[in-house]
Structure 1
């Protein structure tokens, strides 16, 4: 049963990626007004350069041949060549990936470590002043845009502390963990907090709502009626099934973050995948734009596949569904 479930989910993921590749091809090769070769070559390219790009990309071939060539390149992990710096698109993305991965995994870890205990604390005290305080704080965190949180953190924890003679945090940038783990941590704390403020608020409300719903289930009432301790009821019977929507949301958020945390990377000067995508748009580098879009799609599909596997292992009903 588990093998069949995994095969179905993998097939669905491959179908999704194929549809995305088709949509990207149509968007940039077919639906875009004007000559695609001229767009790839640049506004100031000569006629010979445009002809060379057209032949190089196979734009002089029938449309179905162009797509099959494009799809074949993707299957060989060939995302094309940047026309701005003549670098392979995949190499450029992989070079920027460690920064984005550090930002994504660190921020998710922080908001899970804060949000789940906060949600449990709030649900156990539903209707009390403590519950209202937690839910208000969560709502406030959700209400702040990321760029506002990042700007406030930059001003308070970098600018003001540095002017006061306490340069604890750097102004931005990224230091690889392989070179200096302590400097990597110093450079990542504020970007992590920028994302964690919004994420913590969202996950706290989801964890609280799901746990409250689970606590009203009949099997939880039966466990309490049997005299089982409240701690055992909460953490053994109620909490594990209530985390199902949280785990599902992690897959969506992780895929999106790995695809590129554009705003946070720009605020803190982190040269990640998100910054690469913005630069590609600014430079009109269509191969790089297409590559980052497809790369983000792959991460989202893979992250959701991993979530489906985890959910299936946690709950057999998922496999049957």
Structure 2
């Protein structure tokens, strides 16, 4: 397995290089630049903007721009934001990164705590009232867009009842200790549930389907014939094999933890990477856009690698030479 992991890590190098080419090509294909957008001051001489383009290297040939950008990234310099008054891209990302991680982990925890138990129970009690209810919830969760559910949640639980805040990450920066932690969790409830809605429905349906499939296997019937209890059959034999597709989804979720949900963060005015990415796209701030796309791609690749490693833990039959 160690040789396989090393090979996968080595494969990352050409994959990352291809990712940088794709990200840079998409940025170049986009029309205009930060100095042709709506943020320009009409009172400023256009020559000032042209000098700024020359200073940033936007007038250089495309291969030269790509080489300069790639060498800067390899040296750890993500460049400076054009829209945010020349602030470091690394500083902007590191400032928003914790908020997105908190939101992603909170949403993933809600997803797993709800979807896996309900999926298991639905498989053990098929066509029961809970099974029909979970199936209906699954279809609704997949059909309702996150932004629509988020607006409804704000209207009901924030505006009408006033139970949860509708925006931000903390009430006051003066809060510390356990009080600050509780307040942050309070702000995470609505966006976390909204972000985890579709994931909960997906995981629940996968879990139900896989547990039903495994329960019909020959080795499960053999285990029951030997006198094993239902709980032993479920947790020692069924669950580990049923978790394989969940592990696959978890690999992609690792990348989603970093990328967050652009629309969900925008609905709740949540200062994470999603809102930063959307603002950068609207303002054509290409240094920030390219750095964030590259970051998202790296975490998705890492998530896929972790999923392959977890396969060996969940299912001992899987081995890599």
Q: Compute the TM-score of the two structures, normalised by the length of structure 2.
A: 0.88
Q: Corresponding residue for 1:260?
A: 260
SS in 2 for 1:24: helix
Q: CA deviation at 1:37?
A: 8.9
Q: Corresponding residue for 2:22?
A: 23
Matching of residue 217 in structure 1 with residue 217 in structure 2: yes
Q: After superposition, what is the alpha-carbon deviation per residue over 1:53-76, rounded to whole angstroms, capped at 9, x for unaligned?
A: 33543753x544433322111112
Q: Is contact 1:37-1:50 (8 Å) kept?
A: no
Alpha-carbon distance between aligned partners in 1 of 2:17 and 2:53, rounded to the nearest angstrom? 25
- How many pairs are equivalent? 312
Q: CA deviation at 1:174?
A: 0.8
Q: CA deviation at 1:257?
A: 3.5
Q: Corresponding residue for 1:165?
A: none
Matching of residue 98 in structure 1 with residue 93 in structure 2: no
Alpha-carbon distance between aligned partners in 1 of 2:151 and 2:62, rounded to the nearest angstrom? 47
Q: Corresponding residue for 1:66?
A: 65
Superposition RMSD on alpha carbons, in Å?
A: 2.5
Q: Is contact 1:248-1:307 (8 Å) kept?
A: yes
Distance 1:266 1:32, change over 3 A: closer
Q: Is contact 2:252-2:304 (8 Å) kept?
A: yes
Q: Corresponding residue for 1:80?
A: 79
Q: Corresponding residue for 1:11?
A: 10
Which 5+ residue runs of structure 1 have no aligned equivalent? 163-167
Q: Corresponding residue for 2:168?
A: 173
Which 5+ residue runs of structure 2 have no aligned equivalent? none
Distance 1:67 1:138, change over 3 A: same
Equivalence map 1:141-156=2 (5 Å): 141-156=141-156
Equivalence map 1:124-163=2 (5 Å): 124-162=124-162
Alpha-carbon distance between aligned partners in 2 of 1:248 and 1:37, rounded to the nearest angstrom? 39
Alpha-carbon distance between aligned partners in 1 of 2:96 and 2:58, rounded to the nearest angstrom? 29
Q: CA deviation at 1:278?
A: 0.9
Q: Corresponding residue for 2:188?
A: 188
Q: Corresponding residue for 1:308?
A: 308
Distance 1:156 1:38, change over 3 A: closer
Moved more, 44-53 or 254-263: 44-53
Q: Is contact 1:251-1:307 (8 Å) kept?
A: yes
Alpha-carbon distance between aligned partners in 1 of 2:140 and 2:72, rounded to the nearest angstrom? 46
Q: Compute the TM-score of the two structures, normalised by the length of structure 1.
A: 0.88
Alpha-carbon distance between aligned partners in 2 of 1:106 and 1:26, rounded to the nearest angstrom? 35
Q: CA deviation at 1:256?
A: 2.0
Alpha-carbon distance between aligned partners in 2 of 1:306 and 1:92, rounded to the nearest angstrom? 27
Q: Is contact 2:34-2:82 (8 Å) kept?
A: no
Alpha-carbon distance between aligned partners in 1 of 2:63 and 2:297, rounded to the nearest angstrom? 23
Q: Is contact 1:191-1:268 (8 Å) kept?
A: yes
Q: CA deviation at 1:33?
A: 5.4
